[in-house]
A and B are shown apart, each in its own frame.
Chain A
Amino acid sequence: MILDYIGVKEINGSLIVIDDVEDAFFEETVDIRLDDGSFRQGRIVQMDGKRIVVQVFEGTREISLDNTRTRLRGRPMEMPLSPEILGRVFNGAGDPIDGLGAIFPDKRVNINGSPINPVSRVYPKNYIHTGISSIDTLMTLIRGQKLPIFSGSGMKHNELAVQIARQASITDKDGNNNFAIVFAAMGVKNDVAEYFRRSFDESGVLQNVVMFLNLANDPIIERTLTPRCALSAAEYLAFERDMHVLVIMTDMTAYAEALREFSSSKGEIPGRKGYPGYLYSDLASLYERAGMVHGKSGTVTQLPILTMPNDDVTHPVPDLTGYITEGQISLDRSLDANGIYPPVGILPSLSRLMKDGIGAEFTRDDHKSLSDQLFASYAKCQDARSLASVIGEEELSKKDKRYLEFGRLFESKFITQGYNENRSIEQSLNLGWELLATLPRVELDRVPEDILDKYYIEKE
């Protein structure tokens, strides 16, 4: 029996309350038809007896207490999936918007997904070559990893993400080279979404890209669904179609703000900065959908982008993200201002999985000690810089001056590279040794003697 419920009891923000509803279930989707003939979608977010609270995806504008008819759809939010989603463009709620018609699904999945059993996971070890020295050497991206880019407004995170997506090649032992990109835009400007589309088009990968677009002026409730739809598509391509999927999600801060808006309209008790107390669990339910599993050759790698309000890394969104993801690529405002591209801030960046994905077996035997040493030496250079700003560069000891010189070279030669420059891992590592050669051997306390003997040639 299909029932239409006429009218609503209450409207509050994006939520409507309907009374006397029979046979609804939690998180069921509903269709809402307005008297002017337009359709909206919603989802049940709370139930008390026969009273249900529905979240309306497109917003509640123009809804009055009695101009709607609501029908229960009998299923939770689902995403229709088939291999033909490649090359298609969807809106934030997973409906096609490229005018090419509906998807004929070979499967429908609940967009919330299910947690991957830790027992079924494979610990990610294969490294992804991005061709960017700072990333490959110091914060190596591993297939199945979730490595966010912490950025700020106006910095070149989009360019960096595109460069990574374009250059990412995978050294695969089992010969599986199917790859796909799932791109989820949440609350970004139309220009940004267009930039990504054009870049994918120019590099000829557009037929391997699935795009989910929820732009800055699209409804915020759809924004809370966008990453879930995108990740459902990614999991399908990876675990059922054996593809290596790179998921680019931008901007996670806009997503979290949408969640905050929705939470406050539900009247929930806010946590830090007004974000709901469950922001950690909610972000985790997205980020944890990256990984590799036993028995499947496909993988999901995530590259979320988030802009830190006021460049503040202790803001709840970057803070909680950092606790969930396996490291971060942190962009640096002062490098960016000095025209250094990519402006990767070395010291706060980190890849947690790199330790097991580098070394003789994957990259080269000296990789680990070289990267430790570069980190440590660059940290010392920063100390010398702050000292120099107090007592002046002239007054520094000879040792500190050499560190300053090392830092300059490191930033201008190692971090800096062209937008189209694709360096091999050997090039990057050798470049690192060239820079270390400007420091005396006794200063290299992170490198074992045998590696030093092999790679280090001091120059004056």
Chain B
Amino acid sequence: MKKIREWLWSEPETHLLSEMSLMENIIYGINGPVVTVKEARSFSMMEMVYVGNERLVGEVIGITDKFTTIQVYEETTGLTLGEPIYGTGSPMNVTLGPGIMSNIFDGIARPLKEIAQESGTFIARGSAAASLDQEKVWDVTVLVKEGDELVSGDVYAEVPETESVMHKCMFSPKIGKATVTKVYPNGKYKVNDTVVEVKDANGKTHELSLCQRWPIRAARPVTKRVSSTIPLITGQRIQDTLFPITKGGTACIPGAFGSGKTMTQHQLAKWCDADIIIYVGCGERGNEMTQVLEEFGELIDPRTGRLLTDRTVLIANTSNMPVAAREASIYTGITLAEYYRDMGYHVAMMADSTSRWAEALREISGRLEEMPAEEGFPAYLPSRLAEFYERAGYVHNLNGTEGSISIIGAISPAGGDFSEPVTQNTMRFTRCFWALDKSLAYARHFPAIDWLASYTEYFNDLEDWYNENLGEEYAVYRSTVNNLLQEENKLMEIVKLVGADVLPDDQKLVIEIARVIRVGYLQQNAFHPDDTYVPIEKQRDMMKIIVHLYNKSSQLVAASVPLDGLLQTGLYERVIKMKYEIPNKDIEKYVADYIDDIDKTVASIVSA
């Protein structure tokens, strides 16, 4: 208890409980993670509270004049009626400051590494570990001088947080406007040390340390949101080419179990060209988080040459951890994302899986005996989903920089049926839909993104970017590839009935070239050192080769040369394997070789 007290006092900006509230508020009822207090008047909605002698973290979710309802973020086994409840006077907060990057937190931003040191292999309740390392010394450069005016969002100090992230300490939007009255010299400071003192408009002095606190359910303010015209390059061919997402965009990945949602999320987290990755494991497997921890610590970011962990934050609230904290984990994640966005970074947030988050809402709602809507989910599910996805976007920050948050949410629809409420509501608020298909996964076609059911609304926004950076032919290649796949789908209806042998050569060509696209282009091997991440220029050139193959073959077919002759040369198989043969760098020579091979092979057929 003493330790908690000390910690509470040491936290900045936390109001403290009065001794009176200590006496007054006691547990009256318990039902799973929901605890009620009788006739309490001192609590406010969404206030963070400590429940019981073990100080379990909780949050006020309902108030009437008779009862206050609290959801508890930890196991409630062993709580006794009459145990005290302490208010903190402020909503659920996270501490934002250096030390977030490369770290792993639980759903309410407690550091799991420290908890492991404190309580061992299993997570004990009532841990009081502070989010950020209180003892670590940071190399601080102060960027303001005495007399400077600070407004919300202004950067007053810089800290190299990891090798690839410069952490910027920003003037909290909570204070407003102030004048710098004292500046400490550059040097080594701990996270709670004061580096700048300011006086606000009311003459009150604030000491600014390296960190600040922010309520997780409130979006951080920005100057304005703009529409984005830059793609988030993922290095995954099907996503980048057919269904691209912008920086600041939103996408969802629904899929039945075993269709590769998590694998797709991992690939995006590893290779997409965001500056910061926030990976929220929300109600998923513990081993998956361990895998991310171990793998990202060894992999190198192809753009910066630094370790992937240097730009990654993990929030792990696995499926067996308390359900209320699962509900909070999404908000914790997005708040961290906004904080780094405010520094001028492009942030990508992966949420795996939002269905588990929705189920947490349903479970809490059920305990509160609220009237359920569809499939037992509460009626406010769509508005909560909208609130979350709308925190994404490309923005102009208060301090004049530009930043973005892209959200990629996985969905685990019950029975793989996309008509269930979470998938349907998410589709309304996201603009990019990567549907995973079970039958593709069964045939080990990965990524198992169904090119017929998926869509993106961003392609038109990005067209200028493509024309400028990849040439105008890029859009042409893309639409050719897309059309061939659509046409193949139509032809497959016939093939299923009568077999492929009866088709005329021009249709047979579509089937064959679509096979090249499916196997050679859309299938991507996440375990191959080159194929796991493919630069966008190589994607363009691979499409160029395929389209060239198609055009040349069409000429043959138009000249009534039988297609079988060409197929027997093995040219198509060679093109299919080009993803392994063409390296990721200095590709011009290889591409020319393939074009040359196609021309020569076709010519040899014609002359024969």
Binding site for B on A (CB under 8 A): 23-28, 46-50, 76, 110, 112-124, 144, 239, 268-272, 276-278, 280-281, 284-285, 288-289, 291, 293-296, 313-316, 319-320, 322-324, 326-328, 347-348, 350, 352-353, 355-356, 368, 372, 375-376, 379-380, 386-387, 390-391, 395-397, 400, 442, 445-446, 448-449
Who on chain B is nearest to A350 by CB? B258
State the Cβ distance, A81 to closest chain B Cβ, in Å.
15
Contact indicator A119/B293 (Cβ below 8 Å): yes
Query: Is B283 engaged at the interface, CB distance under 8 Å to the other chain?
Result: yes
Q: Please, which residues of chain B bring their CB within 8 A of the CB of A115?
A: 122-123, 286, 318, 320-321
In the bound complex, CA of A356 to CA of B263 (Å): 13
Which of A114, A289, A396, A397 is most buried by chain B, counting CB atoms within 10 A of its CB?
A114
In the bound complex, CA of A190 to CA of B475 (Å): 66
Who on chain B is nearest to A46 by CB? B31
Contact indicator A26/B122 (Cβ below 8 Å): no
Query: Is B476 engaged at the interface, CB distance under 8 Å to the other chain?
Result: no
Contact of B116 among A47, A119, A347 (CB under 8 A): A119
Contact indicator A291/B287 (Cβ below 8 Å): yes
Query: Is B112 engaged at the interface, CB distance under 8 Å to the other chain?
Result: yes
Contact pattern, B 423-435, Cβ under 8 Å of A = 1, otherwise 0: 0000000000000
Query: Is B323 engaged at the interface, CB distance under 8 Å to the other chain?
Result: yes
Q: Is the interface of B mostly helix, strand, loop or mixed?
A: mixed
Contact indicator A120/B442 (Cβ below 8 Å): no
Add 20 more A-B contacts to A144-B287, A319-B416 (CB < 8 A): A24-B81, A26-B30, A27-B76, A27-B78, A49-B28, A49-B38, A49-B81, A115-B122, A117-B116, A119-B113, A124-B287, A271-B375, A281-B319, A288-B286, A316-B414, A348-B258, A376-B443, A386-B496, A390-B497, A395-B499
In the bound complex, CA of A294 to CA of B290 (Å): 11
In the bound complex, CA of A355 to CA of B260 (Å): 13
Given A117-B112, A269-B376, residue A391 in contact with residue B498 (CB < 8 A): yes
In the bound complex, CA of A326 to CA of B376 (Å): 27
**18 pairs of residues in contact across A and B, judged by CB atoms under 8 Å:** A26-B76, A47-B30, A47-B81, A117-B112, A117-B115, A119-B116, A120-B116, A120-B122, A277-B359, A288-B285, A314-B415, A314-B416, A319-B414, A348-B442, A372-B444, A387-B495, A391-B498, A445-B519
In the bound complex, CA of A235 to CA of B362 (Å): 31
Contact indicator A319/B415 (Cβ below 8 Å): yes
Q: Please, which residues of chain A bring their CB within 8 A of the CB of B287?
A: 121, 123-124, 144, 291, 326, 353
Q: Please, which residues of chain A bring their CB within 8 A of the CB of B356?
A: 280
Contact indicator A397/B318 (Cβ below 8 Å): no
In the bound complex, CA of A119 to CA of B121 (Å): 8
Given A119-B104, A280-B356, A387-B496, residue A112 in contact with residue B376 (CB < 8 A): no
Contact pattern, B 364-384, Cβ under 8 Å of A = 1, otherwise 0: 001001001001100000000
Contact indicator B31/A277 (Cβ below 8 Å): no
Contact pattern, B 280-306, Cβ under 8 Å of A = 1, otherwise 0: 010101110111011000000000000
Contact indicator A324/B285 (Cβ below 8 Å): yes
State the Cβ distance, A114 to closest chain B Cβ, in Å.
4
Contact indicator A272/B414 (Cβ below 8 Å): yes
Contact of A112 among B77, B123, B500 (CB under 8 A): B77
Q: Please, which residues of chain A bring their CB within 8 A of the CB of B283?
A: 280-281, 284
Contact indicator B122/A113 (Cβ below 8 Å): yes
Given A118-B104, A272-B414, residue A280 in contact with residue B319 (CB < 8 A): yes
Q: Please, which residues of chain B bring their CB within 8 A of the CB of A313?
A: 415
Q: Please, which residues of chain A bring their CB within 8 A of the CB of B203?
A: none
Q: Please, which residues of chain A bring their CB within 8 A of the CB of B593?
A: none
Who on chain B is nearest to A327 by CB? B258
Q: Please, which residues of chain A bring their CB within 8 A of the CB of B363?
A: 277-278, 281
Contact indicator B77/A76 (Cβ below 8 Å): yes
Contact of B576 among A46, A119, A445, A448 (CB under 8 A): A445
Query: Is B570 engaged at the interface, CB distance under 8 Å to the other chain?
Result: yes
In the bound complex, CA of A449 to CA of B581 (Å): 11
The bracket for how many chain B residues form the interface is 35 or more
Given A288-B286, A445-B576, residue A123 in contact with residue B501 (CB < 8 A): no
Q: Please, which residues of chain B bring their CB within 8 A of the CB of A117?
A: 112, 115-116, 119, 121-123
Which of A24, A48, A313 is most buried by chain B, counting CB atoms within 10 A of its CB?
A48
State the Cβ distance, A367 to closest chain B Cβ, in Å.
12
Query: Is B184 engaged at the interface, CB distance under 8 Å to the other chain?
Result: no
Given A50-B81, A323-B412, residue A390 in contact with residue B444 (CB < 8 A): no
In the bound complex, CA of A353 to CA of B262 (Å): 13
Q: Please, which residues of chain B bring their CB within 8 A of the CB of A446?
A: 444
Query: Is B461 engaged at the interface, CB distance under 8 Å to the other chain?
Result: no
State the Cβ distance, B26 to closest chain A Cβ, in Å.
11
Contact indicator B77/A118 (Cβ below 8 Å): no
Q: Please, which residues of chain A bring their CB within 8 A of the CB of B417?
A: 314
State the Cβ distance, A7 to closest chain B Cβ, in Å.
21
Who on chain A is nearest to B497 by CB? A390
Contact indicator A123/B29 (Cβ below 8 Å): no
Query: Is B40 engaged at the interface, CB distance under 8 Å to the other chain?
Result: no
Contact pattern, B 65-77, Cβ under 8 Å of A = 1, otherwise 0: 0000000000111
In the bound complex, CA of A27 to CA of B576 (Å): 60
State the Cβ distance, B264 to closest chain A Cβ, in Å.
13
In the bound complex, CA of A75 to CA of B114 (Å): 29
In the bound complex, CA of A46 to CA of B34 (Å): 10
Who on chain B is nearest to A270 by CB? B376
Given A271-B362, A324-B319, A390-B496, residue A114 in contact with residue B104 (CB < 8 A): no
In the bound complex, CA of A296 to CA of B121 (Å): 10
Which of A27, A28, A117, A348 is most buried by chain B, counting CB atoms within 10 A of its CB?
A117
Contact of B570 among A277, A353, A442 (CB under 8 A): A442
Q: Please, which residues of chain A bring their CB within 8 A of the CB of B294?
A: 123
In the bound complex, CA of A181 to CA of B81 (Å): 40
Who on chain B is nearest to A288 by CB? B320
In the bound complex, CA of A315 to CA of B119 (Å): 38
Contact of B580 among A278, A327, A396, A448 (CB under 8 A): A448
Contact indicator A277/B319 (Cβ below 8 Å): no
In the bound complex, CA of A445 to CA of B575 (Å): 11
Instruction: List CB contacts (< 8 Å) of B371-422 with chain A.
Output: 372, 375-376, 412, 414-417
Contact of B366 among A27, A114, A277 (CB under 8 A): A277
Query: Is B257 engaged at the interface, CB distance under 8 Å to the other chain?
Result: yes
Instruction: List CB contacts (< 8 Å) of B238-282 with chain A.
Output: 256-258, 281
Contact indicator A291/B286 (Cβ below 8 Å): yes
Contact indicator B77/A26 (Cβ below 8 Å): yes
Who on chain B is nearest to A263 by CB? B366
In the bound complex, CA of A23 to CA of B323 (Å): 26
Instruction: List CB contacts (< 8 Å) of B31-62 with chain A.
Output: 31, 36, 38
In the bound complex, CA of A313 to CA of B414 (Å): 11
Contact indicator A121/B290 (Cβ below 8 Å): yes
Contact of B444 among A110, A375, A448 (CB under 8 A): A375
Q: Please, which residues of chain A bring their CB within 8 A of the CB of B323?
A: 278, 281
In the bound complex, CA of A269 to CA of B75 (Å): 21
In the bound complex, CA of A320 to CA of B414 (Å): 8
Contact indicator B415/A387 (Cβ below 8 Å): no
Contact indicator A379/B443 (Cβ below 8 Å): yes
Query: Is B316 engaged at the interface, CB distance under 8 Å to the other chain?
Result: yes
Q: Please, which residues of chain A bring their CB within 8 A of the CB of B36?
A: 48
Q: Please, which residues of chain A bring their CB within 8 A of the CB of B573?
A: 442, 445
Q: Please, which residues of chain B bring their CB within 8 A of the CB of A281?
A: 283, 319-320, 323, 359, 363
Contact indicator A25/B320 (Cβ below 8 Å): no
Q: Please, which residues of chain B bring their CB within 8 A of the CB of A372?
A: 444
Q: Please, which residues of chain B bring their CB within 8 A of the CB of A356?
A: 291
Query: Is B462 engaged at the interface, CB distance under 8 Å to the other chain?
Result: no
In the bound complex, CA of A205 to CA of B256 (Å): 38
Query: Is B592 engaged at the interface, CB distance under 8 Å to the other chain?
Result: no
CB-based closest 8 A-B pairs: A314-B415, A284-B319, A322-B257, A288-B320, A114-B122, A379-B443, A118-B289, A48-B29
Q: Please, which residues of chain A bring their CB within 8 A of the CB of B38?
A: 49
Q: Please, which residues of chain B bring their CB within 8 A of the CB of A110?
A: 77
Query: Is B120 engaged at the interface, CB distance under 8 Å to the other chain?
Result: yes
Contact indicator B499/A323 (Cβ below 8 Å): no
Q: Please, which residues of chain B bring their CB within 8 A of the CB of A387?
A: 495-496, 499
